Amino acid sequence: MAELRTRTMEVVAQDPGVLRDGRILTTSVKVPWEDLEPGPVGHRVCVVDYDSSTQTMYKPTLVGEDGGAPGRDEELMGDPGFHARNVYALVMRTLARFEYALGRRVNWGFRAHQLKVVPHAFEEMNAFYSPEDEALVFGYYRTPRGVSFTCLSHDVVVHETSHALLDGLRQRFMAPSSPDQAAFHEGFGDIVALLSVFSLGEVLLTLLSGGAGDGTPRGGLIARDRVTMDALMDSVLLGLAEQMGGDIGSPRAGALRRSVRIEPDEAILDRPEYEEAHARGEILVAAMMRTFVDVWTRRLDSLGTIEGGYLDLGRVAEEGATIAASLLTMAIRAIDYTPPIHIDFRDYLSALLTADGEIRSDDSRYGLREGLAKWFGRYGITPGSDTADGRWSAPEGPLRYDGVRFQSLQTEPIEMFSLLWANRKRLRIDPGAYTRVASLRPCVRISPDDGLPLRETVAECTQYVRLRADELGQFGLTPPEGMPPEQELTLEGGSTLILDEYGRLKFEIYNPLPRRRSPSGNARAQARLQYLWENGAMSAGASFAARLATLHRRRLGLDDRIARSEVW
C-alpha cells in the first residue's frame, strides 16, 4: 500500500521564536510510516517523557492518523504530547535523510536499535547525546516570557540526532586527534541542522517575507536586489539567527550568528582563536552556509526576472530549499568517503567532492561541487587529495583476489579481512598491528543522472599499535617534550575502502599508522602526537568524548596548553 510508506507529521518549523502572522511557524514533514506504540515508540526511536527535575512521568502520547496537528500556540506549547511527537518526527526525519543519502540502514552509535529520546529531561539550558545511555536528552528553561523547550527547536533536535548518527558511522571521530577532529562533530551537527531547517520551503518563505522597505515582497514577488548574496546572508541566515535568539527561541542562535559573520580568510585555521573546538567548527559551518547562499544566488541569476526586476517568491524559496536539501545529502554522503580515524577538514572536502562526483557526474545545474571547493578554499580548507579536481584518486592497478569469494565481500568482515591481508603491503597494513574490519556496509544509491542504482561496499579497517614513548623512534616519531620514556601510547591508523559492485577497489581513503623504519613522511602523526600530549588525551582517565554535554558548555578562557602544564 503505497500510501503507508510515509506518515505526515506536524512540527515546529524552526523554534517557537520564528513566527508567521504572529503565530508559531509550523510545517508538515514526512517520516517513514510505522505502527507506533504510545510514546511514541517505534523501531528506531523510543520517546520517554520523564522530567527528572520534577520527577514526573507524562502519559505516553499516541500518534493519530492526522500526525498530531497542533491547535493554537498555547496548546502547542502546553501539550507535552505534541512535544513528544515533535521530537519523534524530527529524529525520524533526520534518520531518514541519513539513510536516503547513504543508501542503506544506518545504525546508532550503540548496540541497541532504539534511541531513547527524552523531550523534557530536566530544567537546564542544555541538550545532548549520551552514547553510554543510548539517549538524546533535551532540557527546558524558564524565561520572562514563558518556558523555552529545547525539544521544540528543530536545529537543536537535528544537531543532537546528527551526533548519534555520526557516532554510529565513525566511532573514532569522538576520540581526541586534532583541533579539526575536536571541531568536526559540532560543525557537522550544525551543518546538518541548518540545512535541514533551510530545506523546509516554509521557513525560507517566512524569512524572505520578513523584511521591510521598498523591496518587501508583495503579492508573491520579491525584488532582485533582495536576493543578492549579501541580501540573503542578511535576511535568511542572520534573520534566522535573530528570530532564533528570541526569548523562547533556540539557545544556539549565537553560534549561527557568529558563523555567518566569520569573514573568509585563507589563514583562519592557523589563528589561535580558532583552535577551540566550537569556534573551529563554526568555520566549517561558515564555509557551508556561504556555499549555500552563493549557489542559490547564482541559480536565481539564471532564472531571469519577471515583472520589471521581480522574481516569484515561491520559486525563490523552493530553489533555496532544493539546494539546501542537495547540500544536506552531500554533507551526509561524504561521511562514507572519510578515513575511519583522524578526520580533518581537508579530508572532509575531498570526501564531499568524491562522494557526490561518483553519483552525480553532472554538476552544471547548480554548481554545488564548484561552490564547495570555492568557499572551503576561501576559509583555507583545500582538498586533502592532491588531484586537480580535489577528489580522492583512484588506486593504481587492481588488488590480488587469491581465494577471496566475491559474494561474501559485501557481508562478511572476515572475507574483507582476507582481501586486506592478501594485499597488506599494497594497502599499507602494518602486519604487526592489532587490525580489524570495523564495519562493512553495502549500499545502493540512486544516481540522479540516469536513475540507475550505484552499488558500493564501504569497509572500515582500523589498526592499533601499543608502544612506549622510548620506542617511538621505530616509527620515525619523537616523544613530545616532557613525555616520560615509560609513557604507554597507542598509535591508531586506518583506511576506508570503497568497492564497486564487482568487489573492485574504487577508492582507498587512508590515514595509516606511521610507517616503521621510515623516519620521513610521518609529519601528520608527529603533529597528532604533539596535540594529544598537550591536550592531556594520554593521561589516565582523560576522555575528550567524556560527554557532549560538557563540550556544549565548554568555554574559552585560558590556553589549554598553558593550563595543562600548570595543574597538579
Partner 1 sequence: MATPPTGIRIRSYNVGFGDCFLLTFSYASGKPRNVLIDFGSTKQSGTGPSGGMKEIAEKIREDCGGKLEMLVATHRHADHISGFGGDTGKVIIGLEPEIVVQPWTEEPGLDPEASGPDGGGNGALHARAAVARLSAMQAMAAAALEQVPRLQRAPGVSKTVTEQVSFLGETNLANLDAVRNLASMGKKHVYAHFGTKLALGRILPGVQVDVLGPPTLEQSPAISHQTATDEEEFWHLAERHLATVGGTDGELFPGARKARQIPQEARWVIPRIDRMRGEELLAILRSLDGVLNNTSVILLFEVGERRLVFPGDAQLENWHYALRECDEAEAIRERLASACFYKVGHHGSLNATPKSLWNGFEHRDAKPEPGRLATMVSTAAGKHGSTARGTEVPRKVLIDELTKMSDLSNTQSLKSRSVFWNDVEIDF
**Smallest distance, Å, CB 244 to partner 1?**
11
CB of residue 242 vs partner 1: minimum separation in angstroms? 14
For partner 1, the closer of residues 160 and 294 by Cβ is 160
- Amino acid identity at 79: D
Give whichever of 388 and 540 is closer to partner 1, judged by the CB atom.
Answer: 540
Query: Residue 483 in 3-state DSSP?
Result: coil
CA separation for the pair 483, 469 (Å, rounded): 7
Q: Which of 123, 318, 370, 500 binds partner 1 (CB under 8 A)?
A: 123
Give the Cβ contact number of residue 120 at 10 Å. 26
Tell whether residue 553 is a contact of partner 1 (CB under 8 A). Answer: yes
Instruction: Choose, by CB under 8 A, the member of 87, 137, 469, 538 that binds partner 1.
Output: 137
Contact of 97 with 329, CB cutoff 8 Å: yes
From residue 82, how far is each of 126, 177, 178, 524 by CA, in Å? 20, 41, 41, 49
| Residue 50 or 100 with smaller CB distance to partner 1 | 50
- Candidate ranges 10-18, 56-64, 191-199, 203-211; the one touching partner 1 (CB under 8 A): 56-64
Q: Order of strands, edge to edge, in the sheet holding 505-511?
A: 434-446, 453-468, 488-499, 505-511
Strand partners, 494: 462, 511
Cell of 174: 569522538
The reply on whether position 407 binds partner 1 by CB under 8 A is no
CA distances to 123, 242, 471, 503 from 356, in Å: 42, 33, 42, 20
How many whole angstroms separate alpha carbon 216 and alpha carbon 206? 12
Of the ranges 11-19, 35-43, 357-365, 375-383, which one interacts with partner 1 (CB under 8 A)?
A: 35-43
Shortest distance in whole angstroms from residue 135 CB to partner 1: 7
Does residue 543 bind partner 1 (CB under 8 A)? no
CB-CB neighbours of 475 under 10 Å:
22
Which of 86, 126, 291, 354 touches partner 1 (CB under 8 A)? 126
Query: Among the candidate windows 116-124, 315-323, 350-358, 497-505, which touches partner 1 by CB under 8 A?
Result: 116-124
Residue 568 is a binding residue for partner 1 (CB under 8 A): yes
When asked if residue 387 is in the footprint of partner 1 (CB under 8 A), the reply is no
- Using CB under 8 A, pick the residue from 6, 43, 54, 449 that binds partner 1: 54
364 binds partner 1 (CB under 8 A): no
Judged by DSSP in three states, 139 sits in strand
Q: Give me the residue label for grid cell 556561504.
A: 290
Figure out which of the listed residues 28, 32, 58, 211 binds partner 1, where binding follows CB under 8 A.
58
* Sole binder of partner 1 in the list 7, 154, 252, 299 (CB under 8 A): 252
- Find, among 454, 534, 469, 434, the residue nearest to 499 by Cα: 454
Give, as ranges, the residues between 315 and 344 that touch partner 1 (CB under 8 A).
Answer: none
Q: Which of 16, 17, 39, 390 is in the footprint of partner 1 by CB under 8 A?
A: 39
- Rounded to a whole number of angstroms, the minimum distance from the CB of residue 556 to partner 1 is 5
Asked if 268 interacts with partner 1 (CB under 8 A), we say no
| Residues with Cβ within 8 Å of residue 103, at least 6 apart in sequence | 443, 444, 445, 446, 454, 456
**Distance set, CA 16 to CA 7, 73, 153, 248, 417 (Å):** 23, 9, 7, 7, 51
Residue 317 CA to residue 176 CA, distance in Å, equals: 40
176 near partner 1 (CB under 8 A) = no
User: Does residue 165 interact with partner 1 by CB under 8 A?
Assistant: no
Binding mask 81-100 vs partner 1 (x if CB under 8 A, - otherwise)?
x-------------------
CB 41 within 8 A of CB 34: no
Q: Is 142 helix (H, G, I), strand (E, B) or coil?
A: strand
Can residue 361 be called a binding residue for partner 1 (CB under 8 A)?
Answer: no
Phi-psi region of 436 (alpha: psi -120 to 50; beta: other; left: phi over 0): beta
144 in contact with partner 1 (CB under 8 A): yes
One residue of 24, 36, 48, 223 binding partner 1 per CB under 8 A? 48
Residue 10 phi, psi dihedral angles, 5° rounding: -95, 130
C-alpha cell at 335: 561521511
Q: How far apart are CA 130 and CA 127, in angstroms?
A: 10
Give the distance from CA 552 to its chain's centroid: 16
Residue 33 CB, nearest approach to partner 1 (Å) = 21
- Between 122 and 417, CB nearer to partner 1: 122
Q: Which of 51, 180, 356, 460 binds partner 1 (CB under 8 A)?
A: 51
Backbone angles phi, psi at 449, to 5 degrees: -65, -50
- Dist CA 524 CA 240 (whole Å): 39
Q: Is 130 in the site for partner 1 (CB under 8 A)?
A: yes
Binds partner 1 (CB under 8 A): choice among 85, 185, 278, 445: 278
Our finding on whether 116 is near partner 1 (CB under 8 A) is: yes
Alpha carbon distance 293, 209 (integer Å): 17
Task: For residue 458, give the 3-state DSSP assignment.
Answer: strand
Cβ contact 238:364 at 8 Å: no
Which of these segments, 12-20, 236-244, 455-463, 549-557, binds partner 1 (CB under 8 A)?
Answer: 549-557
Shortest distance (Å) from residue 568 CB to partner 1: 4
Judged by CB under 8 A, the stretch of 137-145, 194-202, 230-238, 363-371 that binds partner 1 is 137-145
CB 373 within 8 A of CB 357: no
- Of 29, 46, 166, 316, the one binding partner 1 by CB under 8 A: 46
What beta strand segments (E) does 408-474 contain?
434-446, 453-468
Measured from the CB atom, the residue of 148 and 235 that comes closer to partner 1 is 148
With binding defined as CB under 8 A, does residue 254 bind partner 1? yes
> Which part of the chain contacts partner 1 (CB under 8 A), choosing from 169-177, 352-360, 429-437, 536-544?
536-544
153 binds partner 1 (CB under 8 A): no
Verify binding: residue 72, partner 1, rule CB under 8 A.
no
- Which residues make up the interface to partner 1 (CB under 8 A)? 38-39, 41, 46, 48, 50-60, 78-81, 116, 118, 120-126, 130, 133, 135, 137, 140-144, 147, 247, 251-252, 254-255, 258, 278, 539-541, 549-550, 552-553, 555-558, 562-563, 565-568
